[in-house]
Structure 1
């Protein structure tokens, strides 16, 4: 009888938990990169669980971190890049959400557990990855393949290319072009990368993010940009192209992390589970045109995404992609170099 009562109590607890999860009334506050989630998913989650979801956006990891450190409160989930995930975890800004214990974790590609601080996925959920290459106008540059070609075009047509307003990404290109790792801690190598970018600067129209309309209109011929621009390429393939340069490129991966002190942690964890559903991961990838970390979602993608060499590059191309690491105090060398590039 005691065993039976224990079992019944356990069943009752499970039923109660299920009922609570199915009607998780309340709120959820997301702080994400701009245009980095399919809004249909937010609407679907809100309707399914009767949760009022709000979304604020940021442009860089540094902007997000500065706001959180300055005391911005009320946010539940953030989407840091892997190296920023490591930084925030070391700073005590995150709490363990244990996505590795949630339903759907079995679908997550364990190769996406790139965080040095969170190698088992106790804190954050791998979200999406992609390369950072060049979006270009085919009428102005019919066949773009390399960074060298990108910079040669800029030299012949000053002001007609842009690079990202991001110290790691743009100095990363300089490091690639001078034969060093994008995570170099060697001041001499960073100095060479700085000199390379400074040499190109007179021909660079701007350091900026909002380049898609400019490339589409032909106001600029090419822009250093994220693989998410492939969405526009697919919509206008005769006009636009995206390439991972043959010299190599950076790659990114963002994770979904629960902030320490999140006011709606239960709904946040529920949203993580929601994102792990294969159909939702596939729907998100279709909108973002990113590489997916959900292995069960791959078969649900349309063929033009599964076979796209920018979204799912060959092993040879992937071998030339470098992801940023947390540089700790050595980041100051990059910051000083970037300040000189921007002000001189």
Structure 2
């Protein structure tokens, strides 16, 4: 009987000790952070601070200037990225490379607010890996104080001696090749070698007149480093918010339109925090701020109706005619045709 009593006391002591240890462990501080790699000027400081305050999770931000730069970071194998914001075709590239984690939609309840037209896109038809963050177009920004003549087309930018040394092109193989292809009347997704050669010839010829290749166009426009620039609508509108002389033009030949998406990279060490960040960025509060500060196109169902009247009427943000806009596609092995052309353009 005494042996049973002793064993019982030992067992009770062990259980009490285990409970105490568990309580001590659960109260220990836990590091909370999420690593976000995103285009420059694509998340306002207000929303970064709001998420950190609400969730207790710190956002570590790194930037990239093209989808190919993001891909290079990932291929290098030392990115440490949890959440990234690749454009449509790059989602497909990363999925084919097995570089994306499937999303747990139970942890993204705000997905129900997304406008259906932005879901089930060809690059991720089941939205297994991505949800849309925003959309933009690519066209031309011009400072009318520095260049008073009218710019309507890609030819007015790429083949205009009056702009020699006064304009910039994006440092982005697909977007910059797209401008030359559109100027020649060809698709931005062509795999026709002759059409790609003609586009390369345009850019080789115009290179001598280009002041710089830069994807960070807000500063160079606001600092009056260039009179005109190939740029994204969101960057042009951010620059215009500070300088009323800056206007954004969709060229008559057409341009590109892109949906930028939220994804979680394979091997993320902060998946729960990553899902929380994605869900936050899908909230009405975050979307309203996004449209009014970075001028990215809304993807939620009810956003446009609740915007300020000047934003709703902004034709650069909401173009009336999108019939000549194309989305860039993953071209598989044919992408090398563009890469080879770009290498020659940049090194010639």
- Class of the TM-score when normalised by the shorter of the 2 chains: 0.7 to 0.9
**Post-superposition shift, 1:303?**
1.9
| 1:263 and 2:272 matched | no
Aligned match for 1:280, one of 282, 286, 296: 286
The number of residue pairs the alignment matches comes to 319
| 1:146 and 2:167 matched | no
Change (3 A) 1:100 1:172: farther
Greater mean alpha carbon deviation, residues 180-189 or residues 118-127 = 118-127
User: SS of the residue aligned with 2:302?
Assistant: helix
Aligned to 2:172: 166
Superposition map of 1:55-204 within 5 A: 55-99=61-105, 102-113=108-119, 115-142=121-148, 143-152=150-159, 154-204=160-210
Aligned to 2:341: 337
User: SS of the residue aligned with 1:118?
Assistant: coil
Change (3 A) 1:109 1:25: farther
For the residues of structure 1 that align with 2:203 and 2:46, how far apart are their CA atoms?
40
Aligned match for 2:240, one of 233, 246, 255: 233
Aligned to 1:246: 252
**Post-superposition shift, 1:115?**
4.2
For the residues of structure 1 that align with 2:181 and 2:103, how far apart are their CA atoms?
36
For the residues of structure 2 that align with 1:88 and 1:102, how far apart are their CA atoms?
21
Q: How high is the TM-score relative to the length of structure 2?
A: 0.86
Q: Is the 8 A contact 1:100 1:120 kept in 2?
A: no
Q: Deviations over 1:237-256 (max 9, x none)?
A: 1x211111121111222100
For the residues of structure 1 that align with 2:290 and 2:342, how far apart are their CA atoms?
33
Q: Is the 8 A contact 1:81 1:255 kept in 2?
A: yes
After superposing on structure 2, the runs of 4+ consecutive aligned residues of structure 1 that deviate more than 4 Å are none
Change (3 A) 1:210 1:313: same
Aligned to 1:12: none
Change (3 A) 1:259 1:214: closer
Change (3 A) 1:70 1:184: same
Q: How high is the TM-score relative to the length of structure 1?
A: 0.87
Q: Is the 8 A contact 1:81 1:253 kept in 2?
A: yes
Aligned to 2:20: none
Aligned to 1:207: 213
| 1:327 and 2:331 matched | yes
What do you get for the CA RMSD once the two structures are aligned? 2.1
Q: Deviations over 1:139-183 (max 9, x none)?
A: 23333322222235x312411111111111111011111111101
The higher radius of gyration belongs to 2
Change (3 A) 1:98 1:227: same
For the residues of structure 2 that align with 1:89 and 1:217, how far apart are their CA atoms?
39
